[in-house]
Amino acid sequence: MPRPGFVLEVDERTPPLIVHEGEGYRMQKFPLGTRVVYPPDALPGVRDLNAHIRHALLDPVGDSKPLPELLFAGMKLTIAVDDISIPLPPMVTPDIRQRILEHVIELAARAGVDDLEIVVATALHRRMTAAEIRRMVGERVYRSFWPTHLTNFDAEDKDGIAHIGQTEEGEDVEIMKRAAESDLIVYVNINLVAMDGGHKSVAVGLASYKSLRHHHNVHTMLHSKSYMDPRPGHSAINDSTVRMGRLLASNGLKIFQIETTLNSETFPSQLGFLNKREWEWSTKDQALMMAAKKANEVSPPRVRREFFRRIEASYKVTGVNAGEVEAVHERTLENLHRQQLVEVDGQSDIVVMGIPYVGPYNVNSILNPILVHCLGLGYLFNMYRNKPLVREGGVAIMYHPVPWEFHTIHHPSYIDFFEEVLADTTEPKEIEDRYEERYATDPWYVHLYRTSNAYHGVHPFYMWYWGAHGRDHCGDVIFVGGEPKSVARLGYRRADSLRDALEMAKDSVGPSPSITYFHAPPIMIADVR
């Protein structure tokens, strides 16, 4: 029986704790009394995955018929899959999406379906490369469908987008025309965090900028407390996508949702110590940690990046559910919470977070300063239910070198955002009002998004909004080890060590603050009571 997560209180027996800081990590001694939130142990994976997938497809949940009964000759079938942004890091092959796609396609072939399109639901993310897609869907699917019937979604293809209608809140709903005209959409998802899946899959993954702007904005993000808590009324972004998803359903779109959950085995066995609690490290774990750390420190940056890029998570599948979107998602969240939820008693004055090397938007890429902001104050900060781990006006201390470095192919608009927009202002609302439209419609960015492997021109804005709630909530944000220029550009402060950061934090939280270290990854959700 895997152990649940728990909150450690640092005492004199506590060894130094590992803290991620980009493409590296450090061992940090925390002040006595610091609370450390540890994730639950990895749940065991399902025993017979193929049988589990078959069972999910043949015995769906909610108001849905079994998949074979929904498939018929002459139908128009669209299968959408989540893109490279999940899981993190990419899982060992075969990817769970491949396993499910093979089952679905097999059923479609048997039913005599000829018109079958597979689309990677990238929304405004970058197009995946052929190699990335092959790795994700597997050789057989790739060979059968690429490049004509297995494509990246193009949100800027005006002829390929259909306007479905408006929600009761006046939100435009636009999705991929092919999907809208299909007799059935099968969505294959990986639910890595609580905000994934549900109505967000189709209503966001296959949507255009015109549709996305209704929930990817500063107002929504400031009213999503948190966006990792999809209960009605807690997350404005989730409420919005639910409205959109229900509009799609009321317009006759038939969606067969397949959602999967993974356990928390985030790191492969060679880096197994990263999955363990420090005081349980064996001598071998300690030696491995030291060796890997030293080798990492002396490696040239390119080698280091390549090492981290090659990390594949040994995730196991903990659940596959299929059928009607909301019923499926309810089960998915139950499964997810079983793996990720940790009860925490109350907030603290300071939250400490280590920013790892990879986030959803820099797989095979560079975690640039804007993505560091997004991963820290967006994703990690929002991994809570009820209340943030840090009190309002408290201090967030994050570890990351924040190098002034960008991937010119993947993130061209990020460079201009950083150089132009953030040099002018860091206020999300002001940025939204003054700059978003121009970047979103810039023909050069649109061209790069459609033909290269670039994120959409508006994407850095979303990343900035993603951290808006965290930024608004915290009185101060300090990066330990951050590059002075880039941290200053983000509008934050930097320190050389935790001791310095705590000294600096005194201005906001007084001389003896309560501290909580959020010991992630592996991913978890703090249920703060």
Partner 1 sequence: MSAREELKEMARGFRWGRRPMMPRSAEQHTEEREDVGFPTDWARTEAGVAARQAILQGIMHPLVRNELSLRVYGLDHLQDVRGPVVFFSNHSSHLDATLILCTLPDRWQRRTAVGAARDYFFDVWWRQAFTALVYAGFPIDRSRGGKGIDKAKELVRDGWSIVVFPEGTRTPDGHMQRFRHGASRLALELGVGLVPIAIVGAYQAMPKGRWWPGKGRPVVTIRYGDPIYPREGETHQSLSLRMQQAVAQLFDEDRTTWFDAISRAERSETPSLAGPVAPAWRRTWEGSRPVARRGRPKAWE
Residues interacting with partner 1, by CB under 8 A? Answer: 3-4, 6-11, 13-16, 27, 29, 38, 277, 279-281, 286, 290, 294
- Whether the CA torsion 392, 393, 396, 397 is positive or negative: it is negative
Q: Write down the least CB distance from residue 498 to partner 1, Å.
A: 12
Measured distance CA(30)–CA(516) in Å, rounded? 10
Which secondary-structure segment (H or E) carries 302? Answer: helix 301-309
Q: Is 248 or 344 the residue whose CB approaches partner 1 more closely?
A: 344
Q: Is 29 or 140 the residue whose CB approaches partner 1 more closely?
A: 29
Between helix 96-110 and helix 49-58 the angle, nearest 10°, is 50
Q: Is 22 or 39 the residue whose CB approaches partner 1 more closely?
A: 39
Q: Write down the least CB distance from residue 282 to partner 1, Å.
A: 9
Other CB atoms within 10 Å distance of the CB of residue 157? 13
Q: Is 294 or 506 the residue whose CB approaches partner 1 more closely?
A: 294
Residues 6+ apart with CB under 8 A from 139: none
Q: Is 319 or 481 the residue whose CB approaches partner 1 more closely?
A: 481
Q: Is 27 or 504 the residue whose CB approaches partner 1 more closely?
A: 27
Contact predicate 218/203, CB 8 Å: no
Q: Write down the least CB distance from residue 284 to partner 1, Å.
A: 12
The alpha carbon torsion through 44, 47, 51, 53 (nearest 10 deg) reads 20
194 DSSP assignment: T
208 three-class SS: coil
Please report, in angstroms and rounded to a whole number, the separation of the first and last CA atoms in the chain.
25
Q: Is 281 or 307 the residue whose CB approaches partner 1 more closely?
A: 281
Q: Write down the least CB distance from residue 22 to partner 1, Å.
A: 17
Q: Write down the least CB distance from residue 520 to partner 1, Å.
A: 17
Contact predicate 522/41, CB 8 Å: no
Tokens representing residue 135 in the block = 């790795």
Q: Is 5 or 198 the residue whose CB approaches partner 1 more closely?
A: 5
- Rg of the chain in Å (alpha carbons): 22
Q: Write down the least CB distance from residue 317 to partner 1, Å.
A: 24
Q: Write down the least CB distance from residue 391 to partner 1, Å.
A: 22
Q: Write down the least CB distance from residue 8 to partner 1, Å.
A: 5
Contact predicate 309/38, CB 8 Å: no
Other CB atoms within 10 Å distance of the CB of residue 405? 14
